[in-house]
């Protein structure tokens, strides 16, 4: 009886605070779906949906103390099914082999790759000798080599070229970022490149509303860059139209090193600042008319006008996932103002998270969703606590400065672990850089962007762009200064799969649970950081095509070659928390390197394979060429044929010998994977 009474009292404390747990339960279900090793069958999904319905119905007849727990189980199952339905709904053909030949399609997106190459996304794709039912709906090609004879890409333009296409690749190491899954939800059925000129095949078509907005975005980008050349113009177009193609790699590197790269993404900060500027301007204008101020609901009218401005910004910026998420959060906050509620509460954040997770459950696994909601939840919780406790931020003249400092500090602390987990870096002077830059975004840059939109019909937008450019030059200058400081950033190793879930659950438990038990969240956070510290990096990594091998040494990972497979090499080193480049890491490679007494041999190319005629039991041999006739001997051979069934391979040294983990074992067999029927051990 005592336990039952204690449970009832504990659940009674949670009354009025349970809505915050709804997105948490949905996230647990969504995460469970993505963590599966095999795709659930339709019957299994029907079964979980039925159980969710029955459990939810049964909660109405359960004791009050137990009812929330039963509902939580139902919500977890709902989240599981929402993720499965989304994965099924975006299904589209994926290229099943490497293709070289003519590529014909319509331009629907333009951006730049990590290597700074212009990149085109095409729909209405036509490939030679590929049946329409097997042709991807969308492909993405990078333009390499001399493209001086290529036609200028424009929205809706039908283009053609000759190039290479491949299915989206799996993780570069077991447990790493799964590009196959990302491409599946992005609708990309193949990615590749061309070194040939891109030619116009047909004039730009009228297309749908999305293409019309795309043309408007590109026209706006061109206008901004004509007034603000260089990185300043690239920065301006990135935060207004979502077009980052004009930003140089040097500028991007400085922004990342100073923890200011988040200013490039059109997310909650930009959407919130723009909405706040429009809301403030509209309400001020309405209040200047005494009769209107006395008889009209000026706050609600201004909030509705800010909603419209946010919608225009969403369309103009391209409507990517991060911007959609920010738009939903702004709508929830402004909607609260319209009905006379507080705009920023944990309830509003929870509602926004529920909407985002329902519409795009795949966003849960990305850094954008995690960092955005970590920062927003922490800020709302901290400032809500200050408000409820009656604490002030100092004298009136000092309060804005204190609020800016506190906001940057809180957001930085709570997003730092997420950023470090995904990008393996910690910017040590990020707080200073944000304090020197973020206020300028609100006071100068975003108001100038709103003014430019209003002045554009009069041909006076260049005046607003000039003001905008002043603010952006300052931010780029701060980024460059901070990035050049010795030790401005450090590397951290990639965490294990349980680290981020533990940190997130501990953080949320600490904020959402009512009562002394909330401090159990601190234990989860400590456990998460402990697991991160104890994460073991693989002793040997093998690329999924045998192109490169990386062996962990006492001095760090050494790579089998100084050039080639640069993307894979960079990711391995970053995940190790190593700031070396590929050439530096390759300098320590030796043909006699050993792993637990076994010699590591990497054969790159047909000539190297031809010279290798015999192997012995104490060797691990990796080749980038398919071995038609295995060399004599009993070595452990990894060639592209075997690696094609396993994906990237990681080897660990254990007490009982060498353990192996493959990308296939970690990702499982899912809708977005395309493994052969059997895995070769």
Question: pLDDT, tens digit, for every residue of 249-291?
Answer: 888 888 888 888 878 777 666 777 788 888 888 889 888 888 8
Q: Render pLDDT for 364-387 as a digit per residue (tens, 0 to 9).
A: 998 888 888 888 888 888 888 887
- Specify the pTM: 0.88
Residue 172 CA to residue 547 CA, distance in Å, equals: 11
Confidence of residue 392 (pLDDT cuts 50, 70, 90): confident
Q: What is the largest CA-CA distance in the chain?
A: 95
CA distance linking residue 89 with residue 83, whole number of Å: 10
pLDDT at 113 over 80: no
Give 157-207 pLDDT, tens digit per residue: 899 999 999 999 999 999 999 999 999 999 999 999 999 999 887 777 666
pLDDT of residue 1: 47
| DSSP secondary structure letter of residue 670 | -
The residues with which 156 forms a beta bridge, in sequence order, are none
**What confidence tens digit (pLDDT) does each residue in 319-367 have?**
666 677 778 888 888 888 888 777 667 888 888 889 889 999 999 998 8
pLDDT at 188: 94
The CATH class for the domain spanning 99-207 reads mainly beta
Per-residue model confidence as pLDDT tens digits over 422-439: 888 888 888 888 888 888
Tokens 């207004």 correspond to what residue?
240
Distance (Å) of CA 545 to CA 173, 565, 569, 644, 648:
12, 10, 13, 7, 8
Cross-strand pairs, 489: 427
β-strands 118-127, 158-166 pairing: unpaired
For the four alpha carbons of 203, 91, 183 and 161, in that order, the dihedral sign comes to: negative
How would you classify the pairing of strands 190-194 and 199-202?
A: unpaired
Of 109-113, 372-376, 504-508, where does the model show the most confidence?
504-508
Using a pLDDT cut of 90, give the percent of the chain over it: 33
Please tell me the distance from the alpha carbon of residue 557 to that of residue 542, in angstroms, as a whole number. Answer: 12
Q: What is the tens place of the pLDDT at every residue in 188-198?
A: 999 999 999 99
Does 591 have pLDDT greater than 70?
Answer: no
The residue among 554, 506, 508 whose CA lies nearest residue 529 is 506
Q: What percent of the chain has pLDDT over 70?
A: 94
* Domain range summary for the chain, segments of one domain joined by +: 2-89, 99-207, 238-491, 499-533, 540-667
More confident residue, 241 or 509: 509
Torsion (CA) 300, 302, 308, 314 in degrees, nearest 10: -110
Task: Quick: pLDDT tens for 92-106.
Answer: 999 988 999 999 999
Give the residue with greater pLDDT, 663 vs 347.
663
CA gap 216, 151 in Å, rounded: 19
How do residues 466-485 score in pLDDT, each as one tens digit?
999 999 999 999 999 998 98
Q: Examine the pLDDT at 664 and tell me if it is beyond 80.
A: yes
């Amino acid at each position: 009886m005592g336990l039952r009474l204690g449970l009832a009292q504990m659940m009674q404390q949670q009354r009025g605070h349970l809505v915050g747990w709804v997105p948490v339960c949905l996230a647990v279900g969504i995460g469970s779906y993505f963590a599966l090793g095999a795709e659930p069958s339709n019957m299994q999904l029907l079964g979980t949906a039925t159980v969710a319905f029955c459990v939810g119905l049964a909660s109405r007849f359960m004791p009050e103390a137990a009812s929330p727990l039963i509902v939580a189980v139902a919500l977890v199952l709902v989240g599981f099914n929402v993720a499965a339905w989304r994965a099924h709904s975006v299904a589209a053909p994926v290229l099943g082999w490497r293709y070289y030949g003519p590529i014909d399609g319509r331009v629907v997106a333009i951006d730049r790759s990590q290597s700074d190459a212009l990149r085109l996304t095409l729909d209405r794709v036509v490939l030679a000798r590929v049946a329409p039912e097997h042709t991807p709906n969308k492909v993405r090609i990078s333009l390499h080599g001399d493209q001086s004879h290529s036609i200028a890409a424009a929205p809706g333009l039908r283009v053609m070229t000759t190039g290479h296409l491949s299915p989206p690749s799996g993780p570069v190491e077991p447990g790493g970022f799964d590009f196959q899954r990302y491409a599946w939800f992005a609708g990309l059925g193949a990615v590749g490149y061309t070194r040939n000129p891109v030619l116009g095949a047909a004039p730009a078509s009228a297309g749908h509303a999305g293409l019309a907005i795309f043309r408007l975005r590109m026209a706006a980008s061109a206008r901004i860059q004509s007034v603000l050349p260089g990185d300043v113009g690239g920065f301006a177009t990135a935060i207004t139209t979502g077009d980052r193609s004009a930003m140089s790699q040097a500028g991007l590197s400085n922004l990342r090193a100073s923890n200011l790269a988040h200013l490039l993404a059109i997310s909650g900060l930009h959407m919130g600042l723009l909405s706040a500027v429009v809301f403030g301007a509209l309400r001020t204008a309405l209040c200047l008319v005494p009769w209107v101020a006395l008889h009209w609901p000026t706050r609600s009218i201004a909030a509705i006008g800010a909603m419209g401005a946010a919608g225009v910004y969403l369309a103009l910026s391209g409507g990517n996932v991060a911007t959609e998420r920010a738009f939903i959060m702004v709508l929830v906050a402004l909607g609260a103002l319209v009905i006379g509620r507080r705009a920023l509460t944990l309830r509003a954040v929870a509602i926004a998270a529920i909407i985002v997770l329902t519409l795009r459950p795949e966003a849960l696994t990305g850094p954008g969703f995690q960092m955005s909601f970590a920062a927003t939840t922490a800020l709302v919780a901290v400032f809500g606590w200050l408000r409820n406790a009656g604490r002030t931020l100092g004298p009136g003249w000092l309060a804005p400065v204190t609020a800016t400092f506190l906001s940057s500090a809180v957001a930085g602390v709570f997003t730092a672990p997420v950023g470090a987990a995904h990008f393996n870096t910690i910017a040590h002077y990020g707080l200073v850089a944000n304090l020197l830059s973020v206020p300028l975004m609100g006071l100068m840059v975003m108001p100038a962007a709103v003014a430019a939109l209003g002045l554009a019909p009069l041909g006076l937008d260049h005046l607003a762009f000039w003001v905008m450019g002043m603010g952006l030059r300052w931010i780029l200058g701060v980024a460059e200064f901070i990035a050049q400081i010795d030790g401005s950033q450090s590397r951290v190793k990639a965490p294990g799969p349980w680290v981020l879930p533990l940190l997130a659950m501990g953080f949320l438990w600490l904020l959402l649970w009512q009562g002394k038990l909330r401090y159990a969240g601190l234990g989860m956070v400590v456990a998460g950081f402990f697991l991160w510290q104890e994460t073991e990096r693989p002793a040997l990594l093998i690329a999924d095509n045998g192109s490169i091998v990386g062996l962990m040494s006492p001095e760090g990972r050494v790579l089998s070659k100084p050039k080639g497979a640069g993307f894979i090499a960079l990711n391995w080193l970053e995940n190790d928390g190593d700031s070396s480049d590929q050439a530096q890491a390759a300098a320590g490679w030796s043909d006699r390197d050993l792993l637990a007494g076994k010699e590591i041999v990497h054969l790159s190319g047909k000539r190297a394979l031809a010279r290798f005629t015999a192997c012995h039991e104490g060797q691990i041999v990796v080749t980038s060429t398919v071995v038609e006739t295995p060399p004599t001997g009993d070595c452990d051979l990894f060639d592209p044929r075997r690696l094609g069934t396993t994906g990237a391979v990681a080897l660990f040294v254990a007490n009982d010998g060498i353990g192996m983990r493959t990308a296939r074992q970690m990702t499982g067999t899912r809708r977005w994977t395309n493994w052969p029927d059997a895995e070769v051990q």
